[in-house]
Amino acid sequence: MDINSFGIKKTLETLRIKDKNQGSSTGSEWFGDSSDYLKSYSPADGQLIAEVGVSTSEDYEKAITKATEAFKSWRLLPAPKRGEIVRQIGDKLREYKTELGKLVSYEMGKSYQEGLGEVQEMIDICDFAVGLSRQLHGLTMHSERAHHRMYEQYHPIGVVGIISAFNFPVAVWSWNTMLAWVCGDVCIWKPSEKTPLCAVACQNIISEVFKANDVPEGVSCLVNGDYKIGELISNDSRIPLVSATGSTRMGKKVGAAVGARLGKALLELGGNNAIIISEDANLKIAVTGALFGAVGTCGQRCTSTRRLIIHDSIYDKVKEQLKNAYGQLKIGNPLDESNHVGPLIDTQAVEMYSSALEKIKAQGGKILVEGGVLEGDDYASGCYVKPVVAEANNEMEIVQTETFAPILYLMKYSSIEEAITLQNSVAQGLSSAIMTSNLLEAEKFLSHDGSDCGIANVNIGTSGAEIGGAFGGEKETGGGRESGSDAWKIYMRRQTNTINYGKDLPLAQGIKFDI
């Protein structure tokens, strides 16, 4: 595919992406004279899209200094005024939705429709944050002492560090940033080194709004680079909250570093998500949900469906329907909307996929839908693979491991209790689902002894979440919550206030201290 196909050249020009882009920004100013560059290659065709300068430790220091200073004035701007600026960002994203969605698709490899959907998530969280800016509420409580009033309020926490992953190169950043901004915080962002251009584009877009509103330089800082930049953020005591999205292995390192300095970490890590398919399931819904969950984004979502736990009475029927559905999948260029599945992010991901297939066979699994790396002119990047379906045992080591690739494991169950036990018997706890028309099964799945995941769905797949609900998981997924509901509270510090408006000083718990 030529880089000019599908309007890629125009997309880069519209988003002000150059052949060589500076890697550090404090909002309105781009800086950094690095001699080292990140080369961004598209997994769609293997072509070099552009290069981005690697932020040095000096660049990082300049950014965090600007952010710390900007916080002093940004926090004093009334929350609805901050919300108004976020509203304008939402409008600007609507203006750039087509081009930014295309860049997400081309740089990351997800389908164009998914790229557009990711930008829509950014727009949605802007809308959510605007409303939130007038609802940053506290609580009023009755005091045990006469002529006293007690209440709670929330204050901005400060600089929020954001470490994001390649699979959602813009949406997850916006979940954190838009809420943090209306809460009065400022942000410093280290995007994935695999998708740096999406970050540059976002910074270019918001800079238009910031300049029009005289937003202080440093409210939105960008530092591009590898894990070393992430380590600077994690270990920096000037950053009270670090939000990190990625693998459990990475999250443990971030959590340990932030915890060692008694900071706060918001961790969104790995998933090993299952769908239970009941004998009372609507199989059309079940198969469709499982198919998209397993192959959407080429299996590179933290909410991707990894395991199907199927009632033994319908196991063979579901297996055959899945095999037929997989046989109809079209794999190819993600910007071609006739294709269902795009590439993996890079050849390293392909190696992990191939290794997983070998382990399935070595550990006793049975391949039902064969995999393999696709070859030919249409797959010249070397990143296109066939989605795989395998029969497996839940205790197999490879099944217990999150493989970021389109590999789906099938297993049987006899009772709902057995199914839930299988569902919960992994280290991760992000997303889960049950397909059933049986009310008792659905309610049990959602009960205290049901799914142990942060997300539990009925007749909806594991993949795809609306911004209105808090997003996150338990166990090795990290326990963090982002996006909707009351997730905003983590971006603020909580304070309890007591006011004495009387003429005496009674002590709590009736303590006497007379002089």
The helix/strand/coil state of 50 is strand
| CA–CA separation, 477 and 489 (whole Å) | 20
CA atoms within a 13 Å half-sphere pointing along the CA-CB vector of 267: 28
Bridge-based pairing state of the strands 407-413 and 305-311 = parallel
Distance CA 439, CA 323 (A): 29
Please write down the long-range contacts of 61-64, taking CB distance under 8 Å and 24 or more positions apart. Answer: 62/24, 62/26, 62/31, 63/24, 63/25, 63/26, 63/188, 63/218, 63/221, 63/222, 63/223, 64/159, 64/188, 64/221, 64/236, 64/238, 64/239
Contact residues for 121 (Cβ-Cβ < 8 A; gap 6+): 171, 174, 175, 467
| Residue ranges of E strands in 384-483 | 388-391, 407-413, 428-429, 431-435, 455-458, 470-471, 474-475, 482-483
Dist CA 320 CA 50 (whole Å): 44
| Dist CA 292 CA 349 (whole Å) | 20
AA identity, residue 221: C
DSSP string, 153-205: EEEE--EEEEE--SSSTTHHHHHHHHHHHHTT-EEEEE--TTSHHHHHHHHHH
Question: Could you confirm whether 302 is annotated as catalytic?
Answer: yes
d(CA 388, CA 403): 12
440's CB contacts (< 8 A; 6+ apart) are none
Look-up of token digits 């009632």: 311
Whether the Cβ atoms of residue 429 and residue 475 lie closer than 8 Å to each other: yes
Q: Which of 99, 193, 217, 268 is catalytic?
A: 268
75 near 375, Cβ under 8 Å? Answer: no
Of 166, 426, 432, residue with least CA distance to 301? 166
Cα–Cα dist 110/117, whole Å: 11
Q: Which of 198, 202, 298, 302 is catalytic?
A: 302
Q: Using the structure block, give the residue that is written with the tokens 């309007």.
A: 7
Q: Is 198 an active-site residue?
A: no
Residue spans of beta strands (DSSP E) within 341-426:
366-369, 388-391, 407-413
Asked if residue 167 lies in contact with residue 297, where contact means CB atoms within 8 angstroms, the answer is: yes
Q: Which of 160, 191, 253 is nearest to 38 (CA)?
A: 191
Q: Which residue type does 225 have? A: G
Q: Other CB atoms closer than 10 Å to residue 497's CB: what's the count?
A: 11
Binning the chain into helix, strand and coil, the percentages to the nearest 5 are 40, 20, 40
Catalytically active residues are: 268, 302
